[in-house]
């Protein structure tokens, strides 16, 4: 049985390794092993751009808006000018809620239960970029690996993952965060967790990432998956 490493989380329920016997060991970027993987990784593509703008989600259901804001800021597209930051432009977890996006799902409703995969893609499109979403039941590990590699190699593209924490042994369930790197030798993708109060960036195997994406989102009754964003 493979071991799942969990950081110490005061006040949160304990998870036994038995519940996730099929999951590979999670490797966090803050661990020595995680840092070594990053140094040797073949594709670190947008890591520095994304990491520079990554903010922790403001509330527990704002993983979608936090991922959207960081992704948009990293692409170098025209930014809105929040009145508190004027005259500087910046995407925030509030400014992604344009009038068009409020019609897709209001701020109050996202506070209640977050965004589903298709809504994440629509939010991106309404902000002026291209976005295509893919449910995990429609792709396999090989497609996911190839898509991650091709997208990370393109400076004008980004990846946002919608997955469940349960299959990988983390506390919680449905979550959204950007993918920022890939290592060929370990076949792992680096997910920049926007719940920064909970977990640091994590290297997940492609197999585990696909399994986590293939879970059903109660909000849509469909599998979670991936959004490919293009400038």
The full set of domain ranges for the chain reads 17-230
Q: What is the mean pLDDT of residues 3-29?
A: 50
Predicted pLDDT of residue 150: 98
pLDDT for 82 equals 87
pLDDT in tens, 88-124: 999 999 999 999 999 999 999 999 999 999 999 999 9
pLDDT tens by residue, 159-191: 999 999 999 999 999 999 999 999 999 999 999
Is residue 74 within 8 A of residue 46, CB to CB? The reply is: yes
Report phi then psi at 169, rounded to 5: 85, 15
What value does the mean pLDDT of the chain take? 91
Edge-to-edge order in the sheet of strand 174-183 = 27-28, 202-205, 188-191, 174-183, 157-164, 225-230, 130-135
Bridge partners, 134 (sequence order): 226
> What is the tens place of the pLDDT at every residue in 143-153?
999 999 999 99
Each residue of 121-136: pLDDT tens digit?
Answer: 999 999 999 999 999 9
Residue 1 has pLDDT above 50, yes or no: no
At the topology level, CATH places domain 17-230 in Cathepsin B; Chain A (3.90.70)
């Amino acid at each position: 049985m493979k071991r799942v490493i969990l950081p110490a989380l005061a006040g949160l329920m304990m998870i036994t390794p038995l519940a996730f016997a099929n999951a590979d060991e999670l490797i966090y970027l803050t661990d020595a092993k995680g840092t070594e993987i990053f140094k040797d990784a073949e594709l670190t593509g947008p890591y520095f751009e994304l990491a520079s703008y990554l903010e922790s989600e403001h509330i527990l259901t704002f993983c979608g808006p936090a991922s959207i804001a960081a992704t948009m800021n990293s692409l170098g597209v025209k930014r809105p000018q929040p009145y508190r930051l004027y005259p500087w432009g910046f995407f925030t977890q509030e400014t992604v809620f344009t009038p068009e996006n409020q019609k897709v799902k209001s701020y109050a409703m996202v506070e209640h239960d977050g965004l589903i995969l298709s809504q994440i893609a629509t939010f991106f499109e309404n902000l002026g970029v291209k976005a295509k979403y893919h449910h995990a039941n429609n792709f396999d590990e090989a497609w996911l690996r190839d898509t991650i590699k091709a997208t990370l190699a393109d400076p004008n593209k980004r990846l946002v993952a919608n997955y469940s924490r349960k299959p990988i042994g983390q506390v919680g369930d449905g979550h959204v965060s950007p993918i920022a790197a890939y290592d060929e030798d370990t076949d792992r993708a680096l997910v920049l967790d926007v719940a920064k109060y909970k977990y640091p960036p994590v290297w997940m195997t492609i197999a585990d990432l696909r399994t986590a994406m293939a879970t059903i989102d109660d909000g849509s009754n469909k599998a979670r998956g991936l959004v490919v964003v293009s400038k």
